Amino acid sequence: MTAGLKTIIYPVKDIARAKALFTALLGIEPYADETYYVGFKDAGQDVGLDPNGHSKGMTGPVPYWHVSDIKSTLAGLLAAGAEPLQEVQDVGGGRLIASVKDADGNLIGILQDAPSE
């Protein structure tokens, strides 16, 4: 079971230009503004810009399904025939992400937030 699609990450080649474009689109400043990632929160949606996305195999925007158990979800996707793209990785603050490619070449991201205390 998922909590739905709440995050989408765009691979970008020029993070400054992409940040300017999404700032204009969303009308807000990013909550995260680093050389390796820029993130916006708008209407319950997390929109990220990844300047390393293309080198990680991202061919376009990747939607991330929020899940409660990323390891078992990833195992289920692989057992169902998905091809691994990114193993489970902590991207800060206990947030875990992973991604796979389905048989049609579609990228699927999964995300598990750190447990709230």
CATH code for position 100: 3.10.180.10
* pLDDT computed for residue 117 by the predictor: 63
In a domain, 77, yes or no: yes
pLDDT score recorded for residue 10: 96
Task: Specify if 74 maps to a domain.
Answer: yes
CA separation (Å) from 70 to 66, 97, 112? 9, 8, 6
Q: Is 72 contained in some domain?
A: yes
User: What domain range includes position 9?
Assistant: 2-112
The model's pLDDT over 86-97, given as tens digits with 9 standing for 90+, comes to 999 998 889 999
The answer as to whether 7 is a domain residue is yes
How does pLDDT run across 12-23, given as a tens digit for each residue?
A: 999 999 999 999
Q: pTM here?
A: 0.86
pLDDT given at position 56:
85
Please give the Cα distance from 38 to 63 (Å, whole number): 16
Q: What is the pLDDT of residues 31-73, one digit of tens each?
A: 999 999 999 999 999 999 999 999 988 889 999 999 999 999 9
The arithmetic mean of pLDDT across residues 102-115, rounded, is: 92
86, part of any domain:
yes
Q: In total, how many domains does the chain have? A: 1
How far CA 114 is from CA of 67, 83, 111, in Å, comes to 11, 25, 10
User: Do the domain assignments include residue 117?
Assistant: no
**66 part of a folded domain:** yes
